[in-house]
Amino acid sequence: MTPKILILGAGYGGLTTALRLQKELHYNEADITLVNKHDYHYITTHLHQPAAGTVDPRRIKIDLDELIDKDRINFIKAEVVAIDIQNERKVTLDNGQGLTYDILVIALGSEVETFGIEGLKEHAFTIRSINSVQLIREHIEYMFAKYKNEPGHPEYLTFIVGGAGFTGIEFVGELADRIPELCEQFEVNPKKVRIINIEAAPSALPGFDPQLVDYAIEVLKNKGVEFKINTPIKACTEEGVTLADGEEIKAGTVVWTGGVRGNKLIEMLGIETMRARIKVDEFLRAPGYQDVFIIGDNSIVFNEEGRPYPPTAQIAVQQGEHLAKQITSYVRNGKMDLKPFKFNLRGTVASLGKGEAIGKVGNRKMTGYTALIMKQLIDNRYLYSIGGLPLVIKKGKLLG
């Protein structure tokens, strides 16, 4: 009997799993189904660019038709609304369709974590999807046009970015690069524009090398970015934000990048969760289940010191690669030849806008153009892994 493999989500982890199985398994060796709410994959690590308006959103989109062999993978464009792993072993989609499985891979991605900050969901933008970043870009341009007609409102040109993790830092770098173009287009004095990055933690880029963090802050300050570190946001309103110390900052735009949690469906599986993420076993399985694997932002994997790895694209890709090998073994041998998952940190790089980045590979620290080249190499490696040389040629330079 042909085993049914069901993969939920075409982000980094889910797509990598599907494409590796497509490559490794022969035709009709397995019945593989991939479910995703969009018919495209997008490069999440570059969403900050179209959000700021420095890159067209279409550049970071990749149609799944370009990657998937429909003779080997059944793709369904739909949203998952329910997952029953306890009784019926069935996944229900928003089109009413019900899917059963022999092996289930859950890779549904993340949602915004607001940490209970009042008004954040209602009044802040988030960098989460192609649609959300297009909205941010249009709103930023609208604020410049609105200020041009109402110059008595300086708050229209105040842009607050909540969170100074990787997304927040990369976004303010891109936005700072975009501001001169917008000022020229709308005939606005650049000195009227404020970009304020607010972070609750004692440092920007928490957990990153302090020397590189200092470099990044200096580069961004020279671009005009203001920082408020160790300063939690208490509330967000239509008029701006209120900080924990009582200070109120009026702003026409608030973009929240301060955290993510797993998909809400994870909390409905009947398994203990932490911020909608599940602590998987060493083989990436849901606790108590032999045939349910959870990867990417929906999973928690601990390092040798007992600390959870941050949910990054890099770990999701490696989980997908590892899991595909396990599943291939199952299909070929009729049983799982399980091997523990070991994450190999290949380096971390953050862009700071045009011509600037910081990075660390092993013990080597990089800044400026050298780090930027490393980031492009990492991007191109991923593109090659999912689409080969043609995809690198088509998209590689566009992500630089």
Kindly state the percentage of the chain with pLDDT values over 90: 91
Q: What is the pLDDT of residues 232-267, one digit of tens each?
A: 999 999 999 999 999 999 999 999 999 899 999 999
Distance of CA 308 to the CA centre of its chain: 17
Higher pLDDT, 207 or 83: 83
Q: Does residue 244 share a domain with residue 136? A: yes
Instruction: Give the whole-angstrom CA distance, residue 203 versus residue 170.
Output: 15
In this structure, the answer to whether residues 197 and 333 fall within a common structural domain is: no
Q: Tell me the average pLDDT of the chain.
A: 95
DSSP string, 66-87: GT--TTTEEEEE--EEEEE-SS
Same domain, 273 and 352: no
271 and 308 part of one domain: yes
Strand order in the sheet with 292-294: 73-77, 31-36, 4-8, 103-106, 292-294
Task: Report residue 333's pLDDT band, with 50, 70 and 90 as the boundaries.
Answer: confident
- Residues 331, 209, single domain; the answer is no
Task: Give tens-digit pLDDT for 335-356.
Answer: 777 899 999 998 899 999 999 9
Question: What is the pTM (predicted TM-score) of this model?
Answer: 0.95
**Claim to verify: residue 231 and residue 122 sit in the same structural domain:** yes
Shared domain check, 335 and 214: no
Would you state the pLDDT for residue 164?
98
Flag whether 384 is in a domain.
Answer: yes
| Range of weakest confidence among 94-98, 186-190, 294-298, 332-336 | 332-336
Number of domains in the chain: 2
Q: Looking at residue 397, what is its pLDDT? A: 58
For residue 56, being part of any structural domain is answered with no
* Same domain assignment for residues 226 and 146: yes
Q: How far is CA 330 from the centre of its chain?
A: 30
pLDDT digit string (tens) for 272-302?
999 999 999 999 999 999 999 999 999 999 9
Indicate which residues carry an active-site annotation.
Answer: 170
- Which residues, 6 or more positions from 57, have their beta carbon under 8 angstroms from its beta carbon? 50, 130, 133, 134, 137
Q: Residue 387: is its pLDDT beyond 90?
A: yes
At 178, the pLDDT band (50, 70, 90 cuts) reads: very high
Kindly report the number of other CB atoms within 10 A of residue 297's CB atom.
29
Q: Does 303 share its domain with 248?
A: no
Q: Decide if 140 is inside a domain.
A: yes
Q: How confident is the model at residue 216 (pLDDT cuts 50, 70, 90)?
A: very high
Same domain, 209 and 146: yes
Considering the domain architecture, whether residues 123 and 245 belong to the same structural domain is answered as yes
Q: What is the pLDDT of residue 338?
A: 87
**What's the CATH code of the domain at 320?**
3.50.50.100
Last residue of one domain, picked from the residues 322, 345, 368: 345
What own/partner pairs with CB < 8 Å and gap ≥ 24 does 271-275 have?
274/300, 275/113
For residue 216, what is the enclosing H or E element? helix 210-222
The confidence score (pLDDT) of residue 304 equals 84
Residue with tokens 């062999």: 69
Domain contains 294: yes
Domain range for 322 is 4-37+78-112+260-345
pLDDT score, position 258: 93
Same domain membership, residue 108 and residue 119:
no
pLDDT at 207 over 90: no
Determine the Cα–Cα distance for residues 308 and 177; give it in Å rounded to an integer: 34
pLDDT (0 to 100) of residue 398: 47
122 in any annotated domain: yes
Give mean pLDDT, residues 59-75.
96
Is residue 249 in a domain?
yes
Q: What is residue 27's predicted lDDT score, i.e. its pLDDT?
A: 85
pLDDT tens digits along 112-135: 999 999 999 999 999 999 999 999
Strand partners, 45: none
Is 213's pLDDT higher than 70? yes
